[in-house]
């Protein structure tokens, strides 16, 4: 189990799970939907199973590439800890569990489950042919607040869609920073990324632009929730301020000539931003 949790970087679930809960509690609080512990567990199950399938498939598909990259050659599949066949079986199992959870939620979520899987599994192919791969990753995680809202309400609303775009631009921005570590290797292997396409300086500028967009959108979404739910209070704005502050902070950690703090910018800062926003948002709904 330890090896499989490492394979899928289970700790990275912290990026999207809080925003899935934002969508869930937006629906069950300000939007007036009804919910139960059973439904909450199904939504969390969808999130965990979908992400596990996506990460394991990415590791399966990239196993030969990872074996050649000094940074990734010790990952579970190229390192021989988990076989490629076992990893693929793990992907299938989690995809089926994801679809099974949507079956018990509502017909719309079940009908859309193959679309979600197409996006999150399809991402793994994208860096082979487009430098826009970061946006596909962002789209996959951005489905979390929209899907969680649909689980409760059974219909779309513009506010969770805006939160979806918050996640899309935020994730694409920090994935660009993460990809800086491999820009030389990616060029050698003819893989696509924004650092490969525009260089480190250009890629970091695009990352800043994306995070500015994410900051603006999170304020727009907060305004929308306030219009929908007059009792929505100050904790949301504190959460948004902390989220935006951490976006700014991570860009002080990385420069085109110094990538030594990429992991701090990528995991610690973004994990804290997502977790803090999610917790304070949910507290605001309940208070």
| Per-residue pLDDT at 120 | 96
Share of the chain above pLDDT 90, in %: 79
Query: In sequence order, what are the residues at sequence separation of 6 or more whose Cβ sits closer than 8 angstroms to the Cβ of residue 31?
Result: 149, 152, 153, 157, 228, 229
| Per-residue pLDDT at 31 | 67
CATH number, domain with residue 263? 1.10.357.140
| Per-residue pLDDT at 231 | 63
pLDDT tens digits, residue range 202-261?
999 999 999 999 999 999 998 988 777 766 678 889 999 999 999 999 999 999 999 889
With cut-offs at 50, 70 and 90, classify the pLDDT of residue 138.
Answer: very high
| Per-residue pLDDT at 189 | 92
The answer on pLDDT for 107 being more than 70 is yes
* Listed residue (281, 279, 269) closest to 244, CA to CA: 269
Strand partners, 255: 258
To 10 degrees, the CA torsion angle through 139, 142, 148, 154? -50
Report the half-sphere exposure of 137 (CA within 13 A, side-chain side): 22
The answer on pLDDT for 123 being more than 70 is yes
Q: What is the residue range of 7's domain?
A: 2-286
Total count of domains within the chain: 1
| Per-residue pLDDT at 234 | 85
| Per-residue pLDDT at 52 | 94
Q: How far apart are CA 149 and CA 25, in angstroms?
A: 8
Q: How far apart are CA 224 and CA 69, in angstroms?
A: 45
Q: How far apart are CA 108 and CA 155, in angstroms?
A: 8
pLDDT tens digits, residue range 44-97?
999 999 999 999 999 999 999 999 999 999 999 999 999 999 999 999 999 999
To the nearest whole number, what is the mean pLDDT of the chain? 92
User: Which alpha helices (DSSP H) does 180-233 contain, by range?
Assistant: 183-188, 194-228
The structure's pTM equals 0.94
Read off φ and ψ for residue 258, nearest 5 degrees: -135, 105
Q: How far apart are CA 98 and CA 285, in angstroms?
A: 27
Average pLDDT on 128-143 reads 96
With beta carbons less than 8 A apart as the criterion, state whether 233 and 248 touch. no
| Per-residue pLDDT at 106 | 96
| Per-residue pLDDT at 285 | 81
Strand partners, 258: 255
User: Which alpha helices (DSSP H) does the chain contain, by range?
Assistant: 2-7, 17-28, 37-61, 63-68, 84-103, 107-126, 133-153, 158-179, 183-188, 194-228, 234-251, 262-263, 270-286
* Per-residue burial over 76-102, b = 16 or more CB atoms within 10 Å of its CB, e = otherwise: bbbeeebeeebbeebbeebbebbbebb
Give the range among 39-53, 108-122, 272-286 with minimum mean pLDDT.
Answer: 272-286
pLDDT tens digits, residue range 9-34?
877 788 889 999 999 999 987 767 77
| Per-residue pLDDT at 266 | 81
| Per-residue pLDDT at 215 | 97
The answer on pLDDT for 199 being more than 90 is yes
With beta carbons less than 8 A apart as the criterion, state whether 53 and 180 touch. no
* Listed residue (180, 113, 167) closest to 135, CA to CA: 167
| Per-residue pLDDT at 4 | 83
Instruction: State the DSSP code for 261.
Output: T
Query: In sequence order, what are the residues at sequence separation of 6 or more whose Cβ sits closer than 8 angstroms to the Cβ of residue 117?
Result: 50, 53, 95, 98, 99
| Per-residue pLDDT at 16 | 86
């Amino acid at each position: 189990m330890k090896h499989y949790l490492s394979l899928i970087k289970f700790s990275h679930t912290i990026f999207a799970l809080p925003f899935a809960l934002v969508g869930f509690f937006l629906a069950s609080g300000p939007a007036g939907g009804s919910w139960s512990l059973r439904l909450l567990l199904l939504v969390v199950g969808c999130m965990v199973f979908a992400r596990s399938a996506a990460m394991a498939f990415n590791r399966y598909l990239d196993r030969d590439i990872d074996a050649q990259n000094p940074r990734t050659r010790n990952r579970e599949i190229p390192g021989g800890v988990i076989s490629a066949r076992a990893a693929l079986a793990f992907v299938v199992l989690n995809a089926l569990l994801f679809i099974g959870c949507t079956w018990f939620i509502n017909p719309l979520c079940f009908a859309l489950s193959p679309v979600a899987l197409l996006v999150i599994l399809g991402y793994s192919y994208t860096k082979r042919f487009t430098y826009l791969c970061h946006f596909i990753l962002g789209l996959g995680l951005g489905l979390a607040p929209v899907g969680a809202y649909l689980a409760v309400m059974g219909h779309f609303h513009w506010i969770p869609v805006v939160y979806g775009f918050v996640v899309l631009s935020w994730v694409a921005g920090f994935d660009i920073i993460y990809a800086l570590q491999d820009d030389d290797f990616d060029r050698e292997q003819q893989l696509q990324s924004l650092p490969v396409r525009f260089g480190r300086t250009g890629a970091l500028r695009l990352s800043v632009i994306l995070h500015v967009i994410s900051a603006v959108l999170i304020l727009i979404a907060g305004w929308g929730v306030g219009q929908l739910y007059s009792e929505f209070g100050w904790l949301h704005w504190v959460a948004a301020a902390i989220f935006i502050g951490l976006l700014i902070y991570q860009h002080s950690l990385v420069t085109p000539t110094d990538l030594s703090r990429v992991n701090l910018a990528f995991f610690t800062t973004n994990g804290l931003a997502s977790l803090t926003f999610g917790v304070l948002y949910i507290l605001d709904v309940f208070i």
